Amino acid sequence: MSLTETGVDHYAARVNPQWSRLLSLLGMNVSYERCLGSELFTSSGRRILDFLSGYCVHNVGHNHAAVVDALREELARCGPVMLQSHVSELAGELAQRLCGLARGKLSKVFFANSGSEGVETAIKFARAYTGRDGLLCAERAFHGLTCGALSLMDGAYWRKGFGNLLPETAVVPFGDLEALERQLSWRKFAAFFVEPVQSEGGVRLAPPDYLPQAQDLCRRYGSLLVLDEVQTGMYRTGTFLAAHHFGVEPDMVVLAKALSGGLVPVGALLMSEAVSDAVFSSLKRAVVHACTFGENSLAMRAGLATLDVLEDENLGERGAALGALLRRRLTAALAPYEMVRAVRGAGMLSGIEFREPRQLRLRVAFETFRRIHPGMFGQVLVMRMFRDHGILTQICGNHFMVLKAAPPLVADEEKIEQFVEAIRETVDLVHNSSTFWSDALGLARRVAKV
Ligand SMILES: Cc1ncc(COP(=O)(O)O)c(C=O)c1O
């Protein structure tokens, strides 16, 4: 290694060279100096507008002053951390606040370090409560990449090469109650895991009656209903939980990402008393499920400060109004373009779904890309939004034809308008200029070389 090598070079050498290469190919391997609110500032002086929020981590915006101050204070007070032999007051306070906001049966909390770990916890607790092993999930779901969570995902890309996962899992089409009942009626499933809005699955919203009816079916056949609200929780869709839009009372809810203001790893499983009691059922079993960093004081303090910000700044309502504006403006601006199939979403979680073009000229180019990689078209959209307009976004991990728009809830109308104009220009380029397609072919050639 030479003295001029930077952390970015070391990352490529020591951490994940392919990730580094992919970002470089897309022209997105930039170095960020400061990130505030919904803006990211690079070391070369560019301002990037964040319309991804780290996959719904930054609901209160990057480095919110109140969360940063709370963390500074927590460090300065030199309080108890990771004693593993005391009851964390901060965890108690945060659990109390979360249960108050979640309502329904959700009256107990287990704190973990990530969304996946929250899902793993839900798997164990559902099994303990029901005495059943089976697990049911929905097509195109994303629940995390640890072995248990991955067992609840049908995406071949994520599973390939990692061997056999949990046995006795089954997948049903999202939104299909008949298929759900057929599976549940075997009475072998501990729980049905589902996202109220499938974020990586293409920003697909559960049909209005789906979740309440799924809940009834789960009760009828003795399974638990687990909502994965890792992306949709913490006011992302307007209400504290997306469950609140649908009038459903899940037995468990998984939260993570935005819970600690985007600054400290965290995860939480909210559950009914009965489920919690099934695991922590006696003194002997007091630590039968636990994790070292789960209730760490930084995550708990950040969580409390984040809830204060979300409430004081009324970010749920603000996000709901801005998100609705965004979808109205996108629907109008993109109406003339044949490749735009739909604009949909809830609160500040929106998706633009594209479709194959009908015009022969576009179809030939589109098919060429698809043969190279099914995600190529969307990835070039992402690249152009970043390069030409300074906007960070992504396509959905399990639905490559959907571009996500999920800015921090603190974004404003001006930024919404900037995004709408940028995507309109990019989509116009797709339809009316050969540059979009030739760029993509250039990218494909570069990919083939590396
Ligand atoms: C809906 C959903 N569930 C679970 C997870 C896993 O969370 P983590 O990456 O914190 O393990 C994710 C991650 O993106 C997610 O989007």
**DSSP symbols for 100-130:** HHH-TT--EEEEESSHHHHHHHHHHHHHHHH
What is the pairing mode between strands 391-392 and 47-50? parallel
Please provide the DSSP assignment of 240-290 as one string. SSTHHHHT---SEEEE-GGGGTTTS--EEEEE-HHHHHHHS-SGGGTTSS-
Q: Are 169 and 151 in contact (CB under 8 A)?
A: yes
Give yes or no for residue 116 CB within 6 A of ligand 1: yes
Token look-up 């919904």 returns 38
393 in helix, strand or coil? coil
Distance, C-alpha 225 to centroid of its chain:
19
8 Å CB contact between 235 and 310: yes
Measured CA to CA, the distance from residue 116 to residue 143 in angstroms comes to 6
**Contact by Cβ (8 Å): 295, 374:** no
Local confidence pLDDT in tens for the 450 residues of the chain: 556 788 889 999 999 999 999 999 999 999 999 999 999 999 999 999 999 999 999 999 999 999 999 999 999 999 999 899 999 999 999 999 999 999 999 999 999 999 999 999 999 999 999 999 999 999 999 999 999 999 999 999 999 999 999 999 999 999 999 999 999 999 999 999 999 999 999 999 999 999 999 999 999 999 999 999 999 999 999 999 999 999 999 999 999 999 999 999 999 999 999 999 999 999 999 999 999 999 999 999 999 999 999 999 999 999 999 999 999 999 999 999 999 999 999 999 999 999 999 999 899 889 988 888 889 999 999 999 999 999 999 999 999 999 999 999 999 999 999 999 999 999 999 999 888 888 777 777 777 665
Question: What per-residue confidence (pLDDT) applies to 13?
Answer: 94
233 Cβ inside 6 Å of ligand 1: no
- Ligand 1 site, residue 398, Cβ cutoff 6 A: no
From the CB of 90, is ligand 1 less than 6 Å away?
A: no
Contact present, 409 and 235 (Cβ < 8 Å)? yes
What is d(CA 216, CA 39) in angstroms, rounded to the nearest whole number? Answer: 44
* Phi-psi category of residue 192: left, alpha or beta, with phi > 0 → left and psi -120 to 50 → alpha: beta
Which of 181-192 are b and which e, b meaning 16 or more Cβ less than 10 Å from the residue's Cβ? Answer: bebbeeebbbbb
Please indicate whether residue 115, judged by its CB atom, sits closer than 6 Å to ligand 1. Answer: yes
Which strand (E) or helix (H) includes residue 350? strand 349-354
230 lines ligand 1 (CB under 6 A): yes
* Torsion angle, alpha carbons of 195, 221, 171, 343, to 10: -30
Could you give the dihedral angle defined by the CA atoms of residues 261, 82, 100 and 324, in that order, rounded to the nearest 10 degrees? 20
Of the residues 105, 257, 404, 415, which is catalytic?
257
Q: Is the CB of 195 under 6 A from ligand 1?
A: yes
* Of 119, 253, 255, 257, best ligand 1 pocket probe by most atoms within 8 Å of the beta carbon: 257
Please tell me which residue in 110, 142, 240, 366 is annotated as part of the active site: 142
Q: Atom 13, ligand 1: which residue's CA is nearest?
A: 144
DSSP symbol at 168? S
* Whether residue 415 has its Cβ less than 6 Å from ligand 1: no
Q: Looking at residue 324, what is its pLDDT?
A: 98
Does residue 144's CB lie within 6 angstroms of at least one atom of ligand 1?
yes
State the pLDDT at residue 3.
63
Nearest atom (ligand 1) to Cα of 257: 10
pLDDT of residue 2: 58
CA dist 87 and 287 (Å) reads: 12
- How far, in Å, CA of 430 to CA of 411, rounded? 27
123: tokens are: 């798997």
Residue 135 token pair? 């697990």
Per the annotation, the verdict on 257 as an active-site residue is yes
Instruction: Quote the CA–CA distance of 27 and 390 in Å, as a whole number.
Output: 11
CA distance 373 to 375: 5
How far is the centre of ligand 1, averaged over its atoms, from the C-alpha of 233 (Å)?
12
- Smallest CA-to-CA distance from 320 within 346, 352, 342, 350 is with 346
**CB contact at 8 A, 371 and 15:** no
Tokens of 119: 């899902």
Burial (0-12, 13-18, 19+ Cβ within 10 Å), 1: exposed
Specify the amino acid at residue 189: F
Best residue among 200, 230, 398 to mutate for probing ligand 1, ranked by most atoms within 8 Å of CB? 230
End-to-end CA distance of the chain: 22
| Residue 141 alpha carbon, nearest atom of ligand 1 | 1
Distance 374 CA to ligand 1 centre (A): 23
Q: Is 412 a catalytic residue?
A: no
55-82 b/e (C-beta count within 10 Å ≥ 16 → b): bbbbbbbbebeebeebbeebeeeeeeee
**Closest-CA residue to 205 (of 61, 314, 353):** 353
CA of 311 to the centre of ligand 1 (A): 24
What is the structure's pLDDT at 433?
Answer: 87
- CA 116 to ligand 1: nearest atom: 11
- What spacing in Å lies between the alpha carbon of 301 and ligand 1's midpoint? 22
DSSP code of 62? B
- Residue among 56, 116, 137, 198 whose CB has most ligand 1 atoms within 8 A, to mutate: 116
pTM of the model: 0.97
How many A from CA of 191 to the centre of ligand 1? Answer: 18
Ligand 1: atom nearest CA of 144 is: 6
